[in-house]
């Protein structure tokens, strides 16, 4: 791979990047947004941590784990624009969201507000939290197609009432692959004294992050998506104004047993005897992406997403939800398809063509969501377009 990045449309040069991954030859993989396969250097780094753990567990847990955990967190904090003491490692964004729900006091009459573009698991988490406390879960409908950030903000805050205690909003939506104006949303929420939890698993690496500048109360994310860290690596940001009473759901030693708790995050270091290799490998993923060049990755993956959008519109008359602008979509493109059986179409794409891509039902309509990373090529997109054209007639 050249140290000088090729033009975004130089397909011959970009083909070399596939060699950085060990992807199955029978698969055209266009679903990095759901399950991002780690590149080979990240897999090797994790294997090295697992070997250190398995070969001398006492040395690893007692002497190695804490310094490595704190060093990994420091590099991650720098990457996402925060301070290390504001972050803890968690398994994934879902774990982080469950922690926020467990640490958010709700009472009968309180309201939690989500948008209708929120991830299904997040809906389930907050519905259970509201059901247990007697609070109410409200869903704000966002106007479609998207036309302006101001419209999104207006749609959300039109639904905010005097009993709204928390707003949960995606940085980049999962179902609809849309970059929401979280800076403006957080700013408006602070003006109203409203707490905000940003659900950000799709944002890490796909867009520049400066979490401290958002001034949100919580930010939860997975690192196994666009950052290409191992599965089982995620983080939770907790603003200092929310740290005093914030506690893990699973309490163990916190630190090596001779250490005393000095700050809120100590109890998250040791939550039980487990394999922490995914956390400790996050720096290897950051190094990989920074070596590739984050701007290079963003320009290239957006080029592929834009190509998918254009080809699907031309070939199938597919309809987008957002303007053709990098402010609205990055490495993913979502296009509406003719209505029909979602599961059957996704199954046919895999069994007949070896293509992995999500076919999504959203608001009673059928969509395809194309996710692109450095190992993808225009040929992958064109293969999908041909397959969909044949399957949809």
Tell me the Ramachandran region of residue 205: left when phi exceeds 0, alpha when psi lies from -120 to 50, beta otherwise. Answer: left
3-class DSSP state of 218? strand
Is the pLDDT assigned to residue 6 strictly greater than 60? yes
CA 170 to chain centre: 9
Which tens digit of pLDDT belongs to each residue from 66-115? 999 999 999 999 999 999 999 999 999 999 999 999 999 999 999 999 99
CA 103 to chain centre: 21
Is the pLDDT assigned to residue 2 strictly greater than 70? no
pLDDT of residue 113: 98
Contact 70, 85 (CB under 8 A): no
How much of the chain exceeds pLDDT 70, in percent? Answer: 97
Contact 209, 80 (CB under 8 A): yes
CA 9 to chain centre: 26
Which tens digit of pLDDT belongs to each residue from 140-157? 999 999 999 999 999 999
Is the pLDDT assigned to residue 260 strictly greater than 70? no
3-class DSSP state of 365? strand
pLDDT of residue 224: 97
Burial (CB < 10 A; 0-12, 13-18, 19+), residue 268, is: buried
Task: Spell 102-111 as b/e; 16+ CB within 10 A means b.
Answer: ebbebeeebb
pLDDT of residue 377: 96
CA–CA gap between residue 158 and residue 125 (Å, rounded): 23
Which tens digit of pLDDT belongs to each residue from 337-349? 999 999 999 999 9
Q: What is the DSSP secondary structure assignment for residue 90, as one 8-state letter?
A: E
pLDDT of residue 1: 47
pLDDT of residue 249: 85
Q: What is the mean pLDDT of residues 223-236?
A: 97
Which tens digit of pLDDT belongs to each residue from 163-213? 999 999 999 999 999 999 999 999 999 999 999 999 999 999 999 999 999
Is the pLDDT assigned to residue 324 strictly greater than 90? yes
Q: Select the more confidently predicted residue: 393 or 20.
A: 20
Is the pLDDT assigned to residue 235 strictly greater than 90? yes
Confidence of residue 257 (pLDDT cuts 50, 70, 90): low
Contact 186, 200 (CB under 8 A): no
Confidence of residue 8 (pLDDT cuts 50, 70, 90): confident
pLDDT of residue 258: 58
Strand stretches in the chain, DSSP E = 28-29, 87-90, 111-115, 136-140, 164-170, 195-199, 218-222, 234-238, 319-320, 332-337, 355-356, 359-362, 365-371
Confidence of residue 261 (pLDDT cuts 50, 70, 90): low
- Global confidence as pTM: 0.95
CA–CA gap between residue 117 and residue 145 (Å, rounded): 13
Query: Among 204-213, 245-254, 311-320, which is the least confidently predicted range?
Result: 245-254
Size of the chain, expressed as the number of residues it contains: 393
């Amino acid at each position: 791979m050249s140290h000088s990045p090729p033009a975004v449309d130089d397909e011959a040069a970009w083909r070399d990047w596939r060699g950085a991954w060990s992807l199955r030859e029978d698969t055209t993989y266009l679903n990095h947004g759901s399950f991002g396969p780690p590149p080979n250097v990240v897999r090797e780094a994790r294997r090295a941590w697992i070997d250190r753990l398995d070969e001398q567990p006492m040395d690893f847990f007692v002497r190695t784990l804490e310094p490595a955990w704190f060093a990994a967190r420091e590099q991650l904090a720098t990457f996402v624009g925060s301070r290390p003491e504001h972050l803890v490692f968690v398994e994934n964004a879902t774990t982080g969201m469950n922690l926020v729900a467990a640490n958010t006091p709700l009472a009968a009459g309180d309201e939690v507000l989500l948008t209708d573009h929120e991830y299904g698991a997040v809906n389930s988490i907050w519905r259970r939290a509201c059901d247990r406390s007697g609070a109410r879960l409200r869903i704000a409908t966002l106007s479609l197609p998207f036309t302006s950030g101001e419209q999104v903000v207006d749609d959300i805050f039109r639904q905010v009432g005097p009993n709204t205690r928390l707003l949960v909003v995606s940085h980049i939506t999962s179902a609809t692959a849309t970059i929401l104006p979280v800076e403006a949303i957080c700013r408006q929420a602070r003006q109203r004294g409203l707490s905000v939890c940003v659900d950000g698993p799709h944002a890490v690496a796909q867009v520049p992050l400066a979490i401290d500048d958002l001034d949100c109360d919580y930010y939860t994310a997975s690192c196994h998506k666009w950052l290409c860290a191992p599965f089982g690596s995620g983080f939770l940001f907790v603003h200092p104004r929310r740290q005093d009473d914030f506690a893990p759901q699973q309490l163990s030693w916190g630190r090596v047993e001779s250490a005393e708790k000095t700050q809120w995050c100590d109890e998250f270091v040791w939550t039980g005897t487990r394999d922490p290799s995914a956390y400790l490998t996050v720096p290897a993923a950051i190094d990989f992406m920074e070596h590739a060049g984050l701007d290079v990755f963003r320009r290239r993956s957006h080029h592929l997403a834009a190509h998918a959008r254009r080809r699907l519109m031309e070939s199938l008359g597919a309809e987008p939800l957002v303007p053709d602008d990098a402010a609205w979509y990055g490495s993913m493109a979502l296009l509406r398809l003719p209505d029909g059986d979602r599961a059957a179409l996704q199954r046919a794409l895999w069994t007949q063509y070896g293509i992995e891509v999500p076919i999504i039902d959203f608001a009673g309509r059928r969509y395809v969501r194309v996710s692109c990373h450095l190992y993808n090529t225009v040929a992958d997109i064109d293969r999908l377009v041909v397959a969909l054209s044949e399957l949809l007639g």
